[in-house]
Amino acid sequence: MATTRTSDGLLRVVAVVLGVIVLFPLLMMVFAMPMMGMMGWWWGGQPVGGLSPLWGVGVMLVWLLILLGVGYALYRGLVGRVGTDGDPALAELRMAYARGDLTEEEFEQRRGRLRRGE
């Protein structure tokens, strides 16, 4: 149980850091880009030519997707370390079955009792 709480705290810290990394540049773009002027930045300072505003939005979305993918990979990696067995009694039962101490019928019966007791 203690490892779950520790990993939950770590996941919260990682989520907050990733949130700041994503939201800070996003807010700066939302508030700073309109201050650059309508045509001056998007068109490269020329009356005709330059890049379309959609290129900038597309690049921002690509970076956002990359950050979200990295965050998801970190989350899955940290959750995977905690372990899939939350119940130590069930883990011990599986170990006894793997050692051959229990038959399949005994294993199923005891596992059913443990699950009903939860």
98-112, pLDDT tens digit by residue? 999 989 999 999 999
- At 107 the pLDDT is 92
Task: Collect the ranges in the chain with pLDDT lower than 50.
Answer: 1-2
67 and 104, same domain (yes or no): no
- At 98 the pLDDT is 92
Q: How many separate helices (H) and strands (E) can be counted in the chain?
A: 4, 0
Domain range for 31 is: 2-84
Residue 93: which H helix or E strand, with range? Answer: helix 88-99
* Cα separations in angstroms, 28 against 20, 23, 34, 35: 12, 8, 10, 11
CB 82, CB 3: distance < 8 Å: yes
72 and 17, same domain (yes or no): yes
DSSP state of 34: G
With tokens 């005709």, the residue in question is: 48
28 and 65, same domain (yes or no): yes
- At 118 the pLDDT is 58
Cβ-based neighbour number of residue 11 at 10 Å: 15
Q: How many domains does the chain have?
A: 2
- At 106 the pLDDT is 92
65 and 10, same domain (yes or no): yes
68 and 106, same domain (yes or no): no
Q: Show the CA angle centred on residue 7, arms to residues 13 and 15, nearest 5°.
A: 25
